[in-house]
Chains A and B, each alone.
Chain A
Amino acid sequence: MKHVTELLQLFVAGELDGPRKHVVEEHLKKCSACRDEADQALRLWEDLGSVGPVLSNESVWPSVRARTFGAGSRQQQWFFGSGGLARGALAATALAAGLTLGILVPVNEGPDGDVYDPGSDSSWLLESSWLSESSWLGGDGAPGIDELLLGAGLQDEVDGS
């Protein structure tokens, strides 16, 4: 006779499906050894149910509310909640970068008042704009735009050669 020891704990837990449950039930009718095993399994199952912690009646709701609805609207929660500081710093950095670029980059007109067109010849930009001045990079000893472009392998492209 094949015993059903491995299934007994699942059986007492009520987790066996129909066919397996039927096999166990039929086996228990004629096997005293497995019935003893089933009794022990049932006792363990009941013991497990009795070792849970005793909980206080104090609700966590006030604390949770303070961190959710108490902190303001959901929109505020999104921005200032988890990761909000990082988002705020990112926004401030983006704003500062935008302002800086707005100050440094010249108006998008060429030397003759032409509107800058990225698709057209851009040599005017190199010849006459602040980009041709090396001082902005740190003084007389600093590399000019030609040196920089040469270093980057772009000189031919700029010269059109």
Chain B
Amino acid sequence: MSQAMDDDALMTRTAAGDEEAFRLLVQRWERDVLSFLIHMLGSVEEAEDLLQETFVQVFRKADAYRATGKFKSWLFRIAGNLARSRLRRRKILRWVPFNPVDHDIGSSQPGPDADLESSQRKDAVRASMDRLPQRQKEALVLNRFQGMSYQEAAEAMGTTVPGVESLIQRALAALRADLAGKGDLL
């Protein structure tokens, strides 16, 4: 099967029962979705659990998917819905603190001064992100970490482009204000 086969074609074949097409789709997108879910949930274990559920949902909804070239938005909408559902179940409205140890980033390890300063800055940014309201963080993660355009993020979140723009703008303003309050990190 061609490596270049686009997502819509793979979804069409998946809906027809083509296991190889579905495998390609899963392996093409799993890292992006996992990264998104980790940011959303703050837990690798839960993110991996929902990653699996996301693709099972993709499989079950394959018949209903309309090939309009918007697979990525559709996929992240499913993942986002599952993550929000999980967060509601936890009965929390805020993001779970992002623990660098859980994420194997190693940013807290001591090193040369420059590295230390860099890791401290990253930790500060991460901590500030954890304090963002859920929708603001979701928009920011989709745009900055998943490389989605505002249009794609809007489709994934079920909102409008100006809505996403507003969310990201407020998120970044909040981050800057938060980080500015921590001294000269920025």
Contacts and interface: CB of A to CB of B under 8 A. Distances in A.
A74 B17 contact: yes
Contacts of A61: 23, 26-27, 30
Contacts of B76: none
A23 B48 CA distance: 44
Contacts of A10: 165, 168-169
Contacts, number: 103
Contacts of B122: 47, 50-51
A60 B56 CA distance: 11
- Name the prevailing secondary structure of the B interface residues: helix
Contacts of B169: 6, 9-10
Contact of A47 (B19, B52, B125, B173): B125
B96 to A, nearest CB: 13
A49 B144 contact: yes
Given A63-B52, A64-B55, A53 B105 contact: yes
Interface in A58-89: 59-61, 63-65, 67-69, 73-74, 77, 81-82
A47 B121 contact: yes
A80 to B, nearest CB: 12
Nearest to B24: A61
Contacts of A77: 59-60
Given A13-B144, A48-B125, A67-B56, A60 B48 contact: yes
B51 interface: yes
Given A44-B125, A48-B125, 15 more contacts: A6-B169, A44-B172, A44-B175, A47-B121, A47-B186, A49-B145, A51-B122, A53-B38, A53-B104, A55-B35, A60-B26, A61-B23, A64-B59, A68-B55, A69-B22
